[in-house]
Amino acid sequence: MPARRLVAPRFPVKSLDSQPNLDHDVGMPRSPLVNFWNTLPVGFTVLAPMEDVTDTVFRRLIGLWGAPDVFMSEFINSTELVHSKRRFAKQHAYLDSKELADLQRPLVAQIWGNEPEDYRQAIPRLLEAGFVGIDINMGCPAVKVVRRGSCAGLIDHPAQAGELIQAAQEACAVAPVSVKTRLGVKEKKTHEWAGFLLSRNLAALTIHGRIAAQMSEGEADWDEIASVVRLRDELGSTTRIIGNGDLRSREDLARRQKQSGVDGLMVGRGIFYDPLLFRTDGRRFEELPPAEKVKMMTLHLREQQRVWEGHKGYDLVKSFYKIYTRGWEGGEELRDRLYQTRSYTEATEILEQWLL
């Protein structure tokens, strides 16, 4: 994909005391919005939306180390973005100027909620910020969210889901709308649910090969994902089908694409095992010497501090330390020391000393 020149966020912020300034402008014109999904070759890759993971810092780092064809944001609460003074939705939608400058791939905002009018208000703001597509979260299995009829809870409420899709499509105009979902809530209803979604003229549909009740347990059912591809073809739909679940290596990507016939593959937790998973030169994270992994971790720590210090707690970055310290002699000991730190400065000093 050619580089996309995007503008910086312009969300109206009443108070900047607890979050980054979302009103700055780095002066980069944004390309006209198009349905980029149709331009991607079969076998394209997507970095999955993940809460407290795929923020502007992590996306930029993965982009520098080996970018997928498409990036997605964290989960953005549409109601909170337009109505609430809470900071989390604005943080999840934040695009750092360095990410905007380095971005070489389409960036999609994933939103959730069950109020169509909030979609109509939130989506134009997200597109103006620099996102080039909208994905609706109909797959998060969190019990409290499902009980409220949001995310995976929409699987059992197709009429409400249809209203949300329509609102998103109206708000997006020519920008593409996609959906990420599961096979069911407490039991599989793949054919019925996927058939409904395929009737909604979506640009793309991601199927996670589990029901919501499984959370992340058990093996993803790629035969069911394949059945959605066949259903799409039978219906004559042009929706691109993306498979998701248990993709941890390049071999997994190739095997599951061949098995299911999906157009694209979405990697979630697999990126924790190989941050270089999307590279095309064959280089693997596990083959890097420990010093290279520690340098990558140091860069992650410094970028996290640059973007989020004073806005997010330091402890959030600790969840990433395992990525860089897994599987090499001395890594576990270094990780234990980092877990005991209480500040960016303290952790940086430990890493710098290790690299001497």
Looking at the annotation, which residues are catalytic? Answer: 140
Task: State how far the alpha carbon of 128 is from the alpha carbons of 10, 51, 93, 275, 276, in Å.
Answer: 7, 22, 11, 29, 30
**Run of H or E residues at 64:** helix 56-66
CA–CA distance, 208 with 179 (Å, rounded to integer): 11
CA–CA distance, 149 with 28 (Å, rounded to integer): 39
256, two tokens = 């599951």
List the strands of the sheet with 264-267, edge to edge. 44-47, 264-267, 240-244, 204-208, 177-182, 133-138, 107-112, 71-77
CA–CA distance, 320 with 182 (Å, rounded to integer): 26
Half-sphere exposure of 144 (CA within 13 A, CB side): 0
Residue with tokens 């059992």: 156
CA–CA distance, 241 with 92 (Å, rounded to integer): 25
Cβ neighbours, 10 Å, residue 145: 19
Helix axes 290-308, 331-339, angle to 10 degrees: 20
Half-sphere exposure of 322 (CA within 13 A, CB side): 6
Contact 182, 208 (CB under 8 A): yes
CB burial of residue 311 (10 Å; 0-12, 13-18, 19+)? middle
CA–CA distance, 70 with 318 (Å, rounded to integer): 26
